[in-house]
Homo-oligomer: A and B are copies of this chain.
Amino acid sequence: MNAAGNKERRSSRATFPEHERSKGETARAGRSPELHQERAVQTRLQVLEAAAGLFDRRGYAGTSIKDVADEVGMTKGAVYFHYPTKEALTIAVVEAHYARWPLLLEASQSKGLGPMDTLIDLLDQTAATFRDDPIVRGGARLQMEQPLPPGTLPTPYIGWIELLRQLLAEAREAGELREGITPDAGAHTLIAAFFGTQHISARLDRRSELVRRWADTRDLIFYALRA
C-alpha cells in the first residue's frame, strides 16, 4: 500500500510569519520610536493568541474580554484598544486561522512531490498544526460553535474542498487517482474525515492523539484513492 509509507513522515511544522515576527520583536525590544509601533503589533498578537487559547478551551460563551486581559496581564481597556469588541476579536481569530493554510500549502508544494504525495503532506502538516497552533485550534472551535450571526464569519470547508478537488484533479491527470473516483467525491471524503478526526480528537483527548488518528484514517482513505 503506497500510503502506508507516509506514517514515518516528519511533522516539521511550517513557519508562520506572525510567529517569526513576534520572536524577532522580543529580541529587539527596548529601542525607539518605531519600535513603539512594533511593540503594539506584538501586543496585539499576544492578545489574539491568548483569546484563541481561551476560545479553544472554554468556547465563545465561556470567554470574556476580562479573561483575555487577565491571561495577558493587561487591563480590559488595553485589550479593547486592540479589539473594540468580543466580536472583533472572534473575527480576528477566525481570520488568522484561515491565513495559516496558504502558507502550509506553499510549504508542501515546495517539496517537489507528485500531486497525491503533496496532498498527503499538506494534510499531515495540517493535522500537526491543529495539534500545536492555538490560533488554529481557537478558530476551529469558533467555527464549530457559530457564535456570531450567519454571514459574519467565513463559510467553512468550501476553500479546503475546492483546494483538494484541484489537487485530486492533478493527481488524476498524473494517473495517480483510482479509476471511478471523482476529484469531487475524494475531496469531500478527505475533508469530512479530516475535520471529523480533528474534532473528535479535540473532544476526546484534547488533540493529543490527533496525528496518530489522522495517520490511520489517511492510510485507509488513500488506499481507496490511489490508482
- CA of A99 to CA of B223 in the docked complex: distance in angstroms? 35
A147: chain B residues within 8 A (beta carbon)? 59, 61
- CA of A186 to CA of B221 in the docked complex: distance in angstroms? 11
Whether the Cβ atoms of B186 and A220 lie closer than 8 Å is yes
Q: A176-194: contact bitstring with B at CB < 8 Å (1 yes, 0 no)?
A: 0000010001101101111
Most chain B beta-carbon contacts within 10 A, residue among A147, A186, A189, A197:
A189
User: How far does the Cβ of A83 sit from chain B's closest Cβ, in whole Å?
Assistant: 20
Q: Does A87 contact B (CB under 8 A)?
A: no
Interface size class for chain A?
Answer: 20 to 34
Q: Does A86 contact B (CB under 8 A)?
A: no
Give 7 A-B pairs besides A191-B200, A192-B199, A195-B199 with Cβ atoms closer than 8 angstroms: A59-B147, A61-B147, A188-B213, A196-B199, A220-B221, A220-B224, A221-B221
Can you list 27 pairs linking A and B with CB atoms under 8 Å apart? A61-B61, A144-B145, A155-B203, A155-B204, A185-B216, A185-B217, A188-B200, A188-B213, A188-B217, A189-B197, A189-B216, A189-B221, A191-B196, A191-B200, A192-B197, A192-B199, A192-B213, A193-B196, A194-B196, A196-B196, A196-B197, A196-B199, A199-B199, A220-B221, A221-B224, A223-B223, A223-B224
Q: Which 8 A-B pairs have the closest CB atoms?
A: A196-B196, A192-B196, A185-B216, A192-B197, A193-B193, A224-B224, A189-B217, A223-B224
